[in-house]
Amino acid sequence: MRTIEVTVYSAVQLTERVDRVVLAIENIFPGLIMDIRTDRIDAYDGPQSLRRLHRLLRSQEILDAARSVLERGQSGNIIHFQLSKQAAYMGMVSFPPQEESLGSLHIQIQATDPERVIDWLAPVTENGVAVEEIDLFEGTSDSVSNSTSYGAVEEDV
């Protein structure tokens, strides 16, 4: 059985409003269970919370950059990366090269098969187009040339 746990945390600076940091997290990872404090937000859930990130990486056409960040952040069964808190507030994905001055969103994905998570979120591309899309939730594989579906990522936004 495959297990995937998603954890997101962010510091809340004195100059920030807690509700805006919450919104930044929800814009990229909707439905997370959150522990909201005045100085820090911790959020967690399962793989379904990655669906919007999956969709945004495609709509923003940043699969190659995302794959590079995810692969660089993998250590054992954990994938760790950061997202820009300000970009997330606007509903966009941006990978800052280092911790931002107001702090970044820190994402940790723990998975029994982290390579499969990376392949689902940010597949290998050719000329910017995914070579193969897999379905993280069903364990099936569909060639992009045969289908335009991204495999179990439909959502109402």
Distance, in Å, from the CA atom of 73 to the CA atom of 80, rounded to the nearest integer, reads: 5
Give me the pLDDT at residue 2, please. Answer: 66
* Alpha carbon 18 to chain centroid, angstroms: 21
- The overall longest dimension of the chain from CA atoms, in Å, is 51
Residue 59 has, within 13 A of its CA and on its CB side, a CA count of 11
Q: How many CB atoms lie within 10 A of CB 37?
A: 10
Instruction: Look up the pTM and report it.
Output: 0.84
With a cut of 70, which residues of the chain have pLDDT below it? Answer: 1-2, 139-157
Predicted local confidence at residue 129, as pLDDT: 79
Four-residue CA torsion sign, 105, 30, 88, 94: positive
Distance from C-alpha of 51 to C-alpha of 132, rounded to nearest angstrom: 17
pLDDT score, position 14: 93
Query: In this predicted structure, what is the pLDDT of residue 155?
Result: 41
**pLDDT tens per residue, range 117-137:** 999 999 998 887 788 887 877
Nearest to 58 by CA among 157, 155, 150: 150
Closest CA to 21 of 104, 109, 80: 104
Query: Which residues neighbour 103 within 8 Å (Cβ) at sequence distance 6 or greater?
Result: 10, 11, 13, 85
Q: What is the enclosing helix (H) or strand (E) of 10?
A: strand 4-11
